[in-house]
Each structure stands twice: as C-alpha cells, then as structure tokens.
Amino acid sequence: MNSKVLGGGKQFDMLAILNAVGHNPLSSKDLVIQDIITPIQKITKTEPGIRCNKNGKTAKLQLYEIVLCLCLEEDGVTLIDCASFVSGTCTPTKFVWLLPQENSIGVSDSP
C-alpha cells in the first residue's frame, strides 16, 4: 500500500498520520468519518475524501480509500478540499478498516 501523497511539494504518510492518533488497520475499533478526516485535515490543512465499500463476508462497511484532492487548474500539486461527493460512499454510521478478504462488493460512488 502506497500511503504517501504529493501536495505542494510535500509528502504525507496517511498511515503515520492515523497511527499517531491511535487509528490503525490492526484495531478492531469501529470508525466514523471524522476519525479519519480530522487528523488528516490537521496535517494537510485540507479536507480529504474517504471511500468505503462493503465487506463481502461480513457485510460491514469498511474504509477502502483515502483521497487528497489537487487543483489541476493551478499547478496540479496544490491540495484543495475535496468536494463532498468524493466521500459519498462512507455514511455517517460506523465502519471498519479494510479487512483481508476474497470477495468485496464495491459501493457505488454515486449517492
């Protein structure tokens, strides 16, 4: 998993940011959207998008992807707040870290 993202000439390690606040893939703790967005926003100074999908075995909603958005109209490396639709696949309810599995049913990006 590549957790480093470029933005304004900086690199951000998403796992390190989340580990620093006690959120990591080995935790069985349920998460809510702000558990992921808030620590990343504090470091990057922009709001990330997060995406979830449904675990094929447990049917639980799980964290699938963290997205940092770039402004292509300027220089292509300046971070900007992600639009709300980017996080449309994670509901305000609880979800878990992406679990190892054979079958995962993706959740559509559209509401």
C-alpha pair distances (Å), 6 with each of 35, 50, 69: 22, 17, 10
Q: Which of 10, 7, 13 is nearest to 75 (CA)?
A: 7
32-86, pLDDT tens digit by residue?
A: 888 889 999 999 999 999 888 888 888 888 888 898 988 887 777 788 999 887 8
CB 55 within 8 A of CB 62: yes
- Tell me, yes or no, whether 108 lies in a domain: no
Q: Does the pLDDT at position 94 exceed 70?
A: yes
User: What is the percent of the chain with per-residue pLDDT over 90, rounded to a whole number?
Assistant: 17
Report yes or no on 8 lying in a domain. yes
Residue type, 49: G
pLDDT for position 72: 80
Q: Smallest Cα–Cα separation from 80: which of 2, 8, 4, 3?
A: 8
Domain extent at residue 8: 4-99
Beta bridge partners of 104: 55
This prediction has a pTM of 0.73
Total count of domains within the chain: 1
Q: Does 53 or 103 have the greater pLDDT score?
A: 53
